[in-house]
Amino acid sequence: MFRNPANRQLVRAINRSTILDAVRENGPVSKAEIARSTGLSQATVGAIVPSLIERGLVTEGDPTASGIGRPPTLLQLDRESYNVIGLKLMDDHIVGAVTDLEAETLGQSERPVSDLDPASVVETAAAVVDDLIQIAGLGRERVLGVGIGMAGVIDTNQGLCRHSPFLGWRDVPIGELIEARLQIPVRVDNDVNTLALAERWFGVGQKVDDFLLVTLGRGVGFSVVVGGNVYRGARGGAGEFGHTVVGDSDELCTCGNRGCLEASVGEPALLRRAQELCVARDLPSPATAAELYAAASQDPTLVDLLSHAGSNLGRGLANLINLFAPALVILSGEGVVGGEILLGAVETELDLHVHEALRGSYEFVVEPLRDEAWARGAASLILDAVFESPARSRSIPLWEWDAPP
Ligand SMILES: [Zn+2]
CATH number at residue 54: 1.10.10.10
What pLDDT is attached to residue 395? 57
Query: Is residue 280 in some structural domain?
Result: yes
**What is the pLDDT, as a whole number, of residue 191?**
94
Residue 172 and residue 28 in one domain:
no
What would the pLDDT profile of 245-283 be if each residue is shown by its tens digit? Answer: 987 778 899 889 999 999 999 999 999 999 999 999 999
Report the pLDDT value the prediction gives residue 400, as an integer from 0 to 100. Answer: 60
Average pLDDT rounded to a whole number, residues 157-178: 94
d(CA 182, CA 358) in angstroms, rounded, equals 48
In this structure, what CATH number is given to the domain that contains residue 309?
Answer: 3.30.420.40
Strand partners, 68: none
Distance 319 CA to ligand 1 centre (A): 17
Tell me: pLDDT of 403 over 60.
Answer: no
Distance between CA atoms of 387 and 385, rounded to whole angstroms? 6
pLDDT at 4 over 60: yes
pLDDT of residue 122 exceeding 80 = yes
CA distance 247 to 124: 40
Which candidate, 172, 266, 253, places its Cα nearest to that of 222?
Answer: 266
| 199 occurs within a structural domain | no
**Do residue 246 and residue 327 come from a single domain?**
yes
Expressed in angstroms and rounded, the spacing between residue 262 Cα and the centre of ligand 1 is 6
Distance from residue 17's CA to the centre of ligand 1 (Å): 39
Residues 322 and 340 in one domain: yes
Give CA–CA dist 316/310, Å, rounded: 10
C-alpha–C-alpha distance, residues 368 and 373, integer Å: 10
- How much distance in Å is there from the Cα of 401 to the middle of ligand 1? 44
Distance 320 CA to ligand 1 centre (A): 17
- Among 47, 77, 107, the domain boundary falls at 77
At 195-228, the pLDDT tens digits run: 999 999 888 999 899 999 999 988 899 999 999 9
Measured in Å, residue 269 CA sits from the centre of ligand 1 at 11
Q: How far is the CA of 241 from the centre of ligand 1 (A)?
A: 9
- Say if residue 216 is in the same domain as residue 69: no
State what percent of residues in the chain have pLDDT above 90.
73
Average pLDDT of span 93-117: 95
The domain total for the chain is 3
On whether residue 239 sits in a domain, the answer given is yes
User: Is 198 a member of any domain?
Assistant: no
Whether residue 71 has pLDDT greater than 80: no
Strands 143-150 and 83-89: parallel
Q: Are residue 279 and residue 364 in the same domain, yes or no?
A: yes
Q: Exposure of 62 by Cβ count < 10 A (0-12 exposed, 13-18 middle, 19+ buried)?
A: exposed
Instruction: Give pLDDT tens digits for 366-393.
Output: 998 877 789 999 999 999 888 887 766 5
**Cα 174 from Cα 154, distance rounded (Å):** 10
User: Which residue type sits at 391?
Assistant: A
Sheet holding 160-164, edge to edge: 153-155, 160-164, 169-172
pLDDT the model gives residue 174: 97
The confidence score (pLDDT) of residue 248 equals 77
Q: How far is CA 326 from CA 195, 330, 343, 347, in A?
A: 17, 10, 19, 16
**In this predicted model, what pLDDT tens digit does every residue of 272-314 receive, in sequence order?**
999 999 999 999 999 988 899 999 988 999 999 999 999 999 9
214 alpha carbon – ligand 1 mean position (Å): 16
Same domain, 95 and 30: no
pLDDT of residue 323: 97
At residue 166, the pLDDT reads 86
The pLDDT of residue 334: 82
Rounded to the nearest angstrom, the distance between the alpha carbon of 250 and the centre of ligand 1 is: 11
How many whole angstroms from 270 Cα to the centroid of ligand 1? 14
Q: What is the DSSP letter of 222?
A: E
Cα 10 to ligand 1 centroid, rounded to whole Å: 41
The boundaries of the domain holding residue 38 are 5-77
Is the confidence at residue 401, as pLDDT, over 70? no
126 close to 179: Cβ distance less than 8 angstroms: no
Please tell me whether residues 31 and 141 are part of one structural domain. Answer: no
In a domain, 193, yes or no: no
Q: Mark whether 363 and 251 lie in a shared domain.
A: yes
Is the peptide bond between 28 and the residue preceding it cis, with omega within 30 degrees of 0?
yes
At 323-371, the pLDDT tens digits run 999 999 999 988 887 788 999 999 999 999 999 999 999 999 999 887 7
- Which residues are near ligand 1, the ion (C-beta closer than 5 Å)? 243, 253, 255, 257, 260
Task: Tell me the whole-structure pTM to 2 decimals.
Answer: 0.90
- In DSSP terms, 154 is beta-bridged to 161
Q: How far apart are CA 349 and CA 317, in angstroms?
A: 9
What per-residue confidence (pLDDT) applies to 93?
Answer: 96
